[in-house]
Chain A
Amino acid sequence: MLDGLTQPLSPAEWSAVALSLRVSLWATLVSLPLGVFTAYALARWRFPGRELLNGLVHLPLILPPVVTGYLLLLTFGTRGPVGGLLQEVGIVFAFRWTGAALAAGIMAFPLMVRAIRLSVEAVDPKLEEAAATLGAPRLWVFATVTLPMILPGVIAGAILAFAKAMGEFGATITFVSNIPGQTQTLPSAIYAFLQVPGAEGAALRLVLISVVLALSALLASELLARRVAKRVAGQ
């Protein structure tokens, strides 16, 4: 079985790896601005429905992934209320890689928001006040004081979300199925190979790639965050 590790990746395996990277990258990039906004709102603003928003953000973390996937299918499927509307303007999620990215993004969102929210709460609002008294309008205060100071948390959140997206399985397979070359991400491919007799070698190669990707993501985030934190701490 370990022979499988010495063989090069087959085109099918490559396509799963490439698809996973693309899905995770898009999921992370698109959800990042929303994640920063949500984290800031939850940390700083008091508004009616704040607890509800907090609950909604965390829902994917506690619901069974298959439930999240099914809810996505109901909502964003071509016959769903949102999916139907989007289809008219040419955006389709169901059974496409974009759907995999949506599912991965939603599943990773709570982790991203939690990491960023912690770093927002660590910023002393008195610094933001000081910036305002110096003439900076709110958006400028955010861009020049808050954002640079929460950058370590934003990076950590983004990389955490990326790693989570790379590993997302339940919601993805429920929402967009497991179509090779279309929606077959790394975990879906591993699952598929494990169903076929004699494909353990391929599964093992992909497992190894998963481990390496996850570890490098973690290391990269640690390094980056440490560097930024040092800068932000004013040394």
Chain B
Amino acid sequence: MTLSVALRHDFGSFSLDVGFEAPPGLTVLFGRSGSGKTTLINAVAGLLRPDAGRIAVDDWVLLDSAAGRFLPPHRRRLGYIFQESRLFPHLTVKQNLRYGGFFAPKGAKRESEARVLEMLGIGPLLERRPGALSGGEKSRVAIGRALLAAPRLILADEPLAALDEARKAEILPYFERLRDEVETPILYVSHSAAEVARLATHVVVLQSGRVIRQGAAAEVLGDPEVTPLGAHAAGALLETRVVAHHADGLSELSVEGQRLLLPRVSAAPGQTLRVYVEAADVMLATQRPEHISALNLLEVQIRAIRMGDGPGALVQLSLGGSALLARVTRRSVEGLGLAPGQRVFAVLKAVSVAKGNVAGR
């Protein structure tokens, strides 16, 4: 199933004018706050009626302003996961979970309740009320409630933004399972590059109400045009394969035929892994460095150099068919005489890749 969206809406001081497609999988709407992400997802949900546009999931039309069609939210078959979970405080967890299923058409394809309870680990909470749940538990129940509504489209509006780091780490894997185990397309709003890197199969980048880039996650994240939006966590996503686990606690992975050593990963040899490498963790050398503690030396080619306004520069590298980003200083770019087309070595410390940036699939 593919979600296609084309919208125009004028708020006076701000206007939204976007078009994008979300193929099966998890599509992240990525952008700063104020870029129109939430407005856009609310329009898809039917909570906002845009001036003009068309929204459809395959040939099922949710909105077509030209034809005067506007399905109200309750007829859009959604599973909307909100930032603040929005559980009904007067109902028990069980009643919350079953709320959407009650309104779903009798013949609708449903997730089994037992499977959802198991997947989210919320079986023991059923008789409680939301007031007695922790933040992480509320988030999981909210995910379950959306899933059990038998949705044709799952929407998530920064579902992790209100959680602290520990809770985020607790909830992220559930979204990965959702992406991998549930066939329903997921539209996920986020301004966190790390979340994008871990979850996205497809990314739509928004800026001031316009789509400035869309495409497969690895492709978009390695694009320096996109990185000013989340400069702190600019980086690139590498598709890797686990080769072996070594006795000294390191795992050997292969990426585009080159070797990558990381602290022990949980995946078994042969499995594929997504590794997010932050641009600030990558050093560049014009000759193969020797007598250096960093374990990873990747042979790469410079594709483009983007000078920042300050002292920094972002170097876009190609590693076989993959992209890698390095954040260095302008002084280094000039001192080393870096230029597009040049072959250089990307240096990466094994320990600098955070555990949270390594994920299955």
Contacts and interface: CB of A to CB of B under 8 A. Distances in A.
Interface in B65-100: 72-80, 82, 84, 86-90, 99-100
A132 B86 contact: no
Interface stretch (B20-28, B129-137, B167-175, B179-187): B129-137
Nearest to B78: A133
A145 B88 contact: yes
B74 to A, nearest CB: 5
B47 interface: yes
A14 interface: no
B47 A140 contact: no
A235 interface: yes
Given A134-B149, A135-B103, A148-B90, A234 B130 contact: yes
B61 to A, nearest CB: 18
Contacts of A138: 74
A144 to B, nearest CB: 8
Interface string B112-141: 000000000000000001111000000000
B189 interface: no
Contact of B74 (A132, A148, A233): A132
B54 to A, nearest CB: 20
B187 to A, nearest CB: 13
Interface in A130-161: 130-138, 140-141, 144-145, 148-149
Contacts of B130: 234
B163 interface: no
Contact of B129 (A135, A149, A234): A234
B132 A134 contact: no
Contacts of A140: 103
B145 interface: yes
A232 interface: yes
Given A126-B84, A132-B72, A137-B74, A234 B90 contact: yes
A235 B129 contact: yes
Contact of B88 (A127, A132, A235): A127
B82 A135 contact: no
Contacts of A144: 88, 99
A130 B90 CA distance: 14
Contacts of A231: 90
Interface string A18-54: 0000000000000000000000000000000000000
Contacts of B280: none
A53 to B, nearest CB: 26
B74 A136 contact: yes
Q: For A129, A134, A136, A137, which residue has the most chain B Cβ atoms within 10 angstroms?
A: A134
Interface in A205-235: 231-235
Nearest to B100: A134
B104 interface: yes
B138 to A, nearest CB: 10
Interface in B129-168: 129-132, 145-146, 149, 155
A133 B80 contact: yes
A233 B130 CA distance: 9
A56 to B, nearest CB: 31
A207 B106 CA distance: 60
A144 B102 CA distance: 12
A138 B74 CA distance: 8
Contacts of A132: 46-47, 72-74
B19 to A, nearest CB: 23
Given A234-B129, A234-B132, A235-B131, A133 B89 contact: no
Contact of B89 (A129, A131, A137, A233): A233
Nearest to B42: A129
A126 B103 contact: no
27 contacts: A126-B84, A126-B86, A127-B88, A127-B89, A130-B88, A131-B99, A132-B46, A132-B72, A132-B74, A133-B46, A133-B47, A133-B78, A133-B155, A134-B99, A134-B100, A134-B103, A135-B75, A135-B78, A135-B103, A137-B74, A144-B99, A148-B90, A232-B90, A233-B89, A234-B129, A235-B131, A235-B132
- 9 smallest CB-CB distances across A and B, nearest first, come from A135-B103, A234-B131, A234-B89, A134-B100, A133-B80, A130-B86, A234-B129, A132-B73, A232-B90
Given A127-B89, A132-B73, A145-B90, 11 more contacts: A126-B82, A127-B86, A132-B72, A133-B73, A133-B78, A133-B155, A135-B78, A140-B103, A232-B90, A234-B87, A234-B131
